Amino acid sequence: DEIISIGAFRMINCRLLREKRFEQLVDPQRSIPWTSVKIHGIHPEMLIGQPFIDQVLPQFHQFVEDTMLVAHNAAFDMRFLQLKEEAIGLHFDNPVLDTLLLSSIVHPNQEGHSLDAIAERFNLTIVGRHTALGDALVTAEILLKLIPLLKAQGIHTLEDALIASSQSPFAK
């Protein structure tokens, strides 16, 4: 697998800044299996002329510099970034919050902690599911819904959230 799209939004003080976003398709320099295209909707012709990952990741690294990263099932996404670190000469050592793990903390008795299940639980509409920017947007909206629930459980700081996440049964 290769990265073919990166999407992110900036959040400041529990406010989602929709206009401050990073969105870029990436030419993976290889073919894309049709089974993947059916999921994310990115067709090979859409990637013709797009920059390669070694051009995109430094830009993304700059976008997320000195910030916390938030992702759903973050281990999956972070592994893709880590596999490219040596090639680009940069490291993604940002603190990372995982909405899957946080959901399992605030809703321990719920069976589903998929992005779709959590969005449904919070009555959020997912626009562009399985696209980098669409999934980033709903992940940010989920985090905003989780914050008051975390606070109600005494989880007030990033450190508190990271510690609680590490104790989730879903932590790897």
The catalytically annotated residue of 43, 72, 130, 156 is 130
| Per-residue pLDDT, 130 | 86
pLDDT of 128 over the 90 cut: no
Split at pLDDT 50, 70, 90, the class of 85 is very high
| Per-residue pLDDT, 172 | 75
| Per-residue pLDDT, 15 | 96
Q: What is the pTM of this model?
A: 0.94
| Per-residue pLDDT, 1 | 81
Query: Residue 78: exposed, middle, or buried by beta-carbon count in 10 A (0-12, 13-18, 19+)?
Result: middle
Tokens at residue 82, please? 């880590």
Answer yes or no: 130 catalytic.
yes
Q: What is the mean pLDDT of residues 6-27?
A: 96
